[in-house]
Chain A
Amino acid sequence: MTSRYRAAPPGAIVAVRLDMLTALYHRASGQTHLLASPAPEILDALADGPLTADTLLDRLRAAYDLIDADAGALAARLEELVDTGLVERR
């Protein structure tokens, strides 16, 4: 059974690009996060609906010029996002 990852819907997040970092306010939690690439890109890719890790990696490779473009690094970033509550694993 492959897990799927689901992000908070676009209306639930307010994002402001500061410089290399993006400030994010998550309305459901009241928390503020400072995210570096590829985290904002991951959230964007998940905005339309839940994806498995493999599908997510393919989408990111196709859309962006990523620094961490391998499955292991992506898994680590996803786990960090799950810990913050910005992404839910089902």
Chain B
Amino acid sequence: MMHDFAVRIGPVGFRVGSDWRAPVAALADLYRDYPAPQDGIADFTVRLFADRPWRRFIRPRVMIGGDYVLPEAAPLSLRHGLLAAEMAMNLQMALGQRRFLLLHAATVERDGRALVMTGESGAGKSTLAALLMTRGWRLMGDEFALLDPESGMVYAFPRLISLKNRAIDVMAAAAPGGRFGPLLADTPKGAIRHLVPDARSIAAMETPARPALILFPTFGHDDAAREVSPSEVFVRLTQASTNYVSLAERGFTALTRLVTTVPARAIDYPDTERAIARVEALWAAL
């Protein structure tokens, strides 16, 4: 028996089928202000299923399935079902997205221009994007930036913002009126809590933006900034893109145009306030 849910996020529609009610109920609640897939047809199908019939009830664990799968992926326990659903949607995009070049980046927008923050996982991109959202920027996404090869514009993909460990407390303080998902303790990556993008970000999700600045933030002890050359940006972005190869020449065109027309900076930051100040200064200097 399937419980199912469907949602559109930016230009991409998903449907999620589940052997259990709980993950679907959590999705339906957190995404309640989002539209449905266009024409009732989802671009990607996700399935959350029990690999053995008794696993639906006894120490239930969630296997991730769908249009695109990673064989050998480890299941999650049912109490982390919401995380499984979010990971599964990420996986469909990572393996199946063919229209837009995917950049692994957190993106915010102001005045029709996009700030694309990319780099290693754990560098704090999601947290910075969420904080900038509370400071008047529109959130376009915290996981993927969608680059349109034909126009060079960045399209929004505003999923639930994934906050880990310390960032949960930071955002609870910074966004007291925000809608948060359940606290998921003891996941493979520590504690995770999702933050729903604000009403303005949801309402504007179909509006693209012109990329204006590429940022490589690194959290640490320093407080510094340097220019990043086009070839370095090119290499780092292809490494961070899961579908560059799949997009063939369109991907090449999109990425070479991006790195030759949009400035890039690497910043080291000791705390989020310094990072935000650095961002505002770089933005003003554009």
- For residue A50, give the distance in angstroms from its CB to the closest CB of chain B: 26
Residues on the B chain within 8 Å of A73, using CB = none
- The stretch of B88-96, B176-184, B186-194, B226-234 in contact with A is B226-234
B234:A34 contact, CB within 8 angstroms: yes
B231:A32 contact, CB within 8 angstroms: no
Whether A34 touches B235, Cβ cut-off 8 Å, given contacts A18-B230, A18-B256, A19-B229, is yes
Does B249 touch A at the CB level, under 8 Å? yes
| CB-CB nearest in chain B for A30 | B248
Does A61 touch B at the CB level, under 8 Å? no
**Bound CA–CA A14/B248 (angstroms):** 12
Does A27 touch B at the CB level, under 8 Å? yes
B256:A30 contact, CB within 8 angstroms: no
| CB-CB nearest in chain A for B247 | A30
Per the 8 Å Cβ criterion, residues 1-55 of A in contact with B are 14, 16, 18-21, 23, 25, 27, 30, 32, 34
Does B224 touch A at the CB level, under 8 Å? no
A34:B248 contact, CB within 8 angstroms: no
A20:B231 contact, CB within 8 angstroms: yes
Number of interface residues of A (CB under 8 A): 12
Does B44 touch A at the CB level, under 8 Å? no
A23:B252 contact, CB within 8 angstroms: yes
Number of interface residues of B (CB under 8 A): 15
A18:B238 contact, CB within 8 angstroms: no
Does B245 touch A at the CB level, under 8 Å? yes
B256:A23 contact, CB within 8 angstroms: yes
Binary contact readout B209-249 vs A (1 if CB under 8 angstroms, 0 otherwise): 00000000000000000000111001100100000110011
Per the 8 Å Cβ criterion, residues 71-106 of B in contact with A are none
Residues on the B chain within 8 Å of A18, using CB = 229-231, 234, 256, 259-260
- For residue B226, give the distance in angstroms from its CB to the closest CB of chain A: 15
| CB-CB nearest in chain A for B246 | A30
- For residue A20, give the distance in angstroms from its CB to the closest CB of chain B: 7
A32:B252 contact, CB within 8 angstroms: yes
Whether A16 touches B256, Cβ cut-off 8 Å, given contacts A25-B249, A27-B249, is yes
B231:A21 contact, CB within 8 angstroms: yes
Residues on the A chain within 8 Å of B252, using CB = 14, 16, 23, 25, 32
B248:A16 contact, CB within 8 angstroms: no
Whether A19 touches B230, Cβ cut-off 8 Å, given contacts A25-B249, A30-B245, is yes
| CB-CB nearest in chain B for A31 | B245
B238:A32 contact, CB within 8 angstroms: yes
Residues on the A chain within 8 Å of B230, using CB = 18-19
Interface residues of A (CB under 8 A from B): 14, 16, 18-21, 23, 25, 27, 30, 32, 34
Given contacts A18-B260, A25-B252, 7 further A-B pairs with CB under 8 A are A14-B253, A16-B256, A20-B231, A23-B256, A25-B249, A32-B244, A34-B235
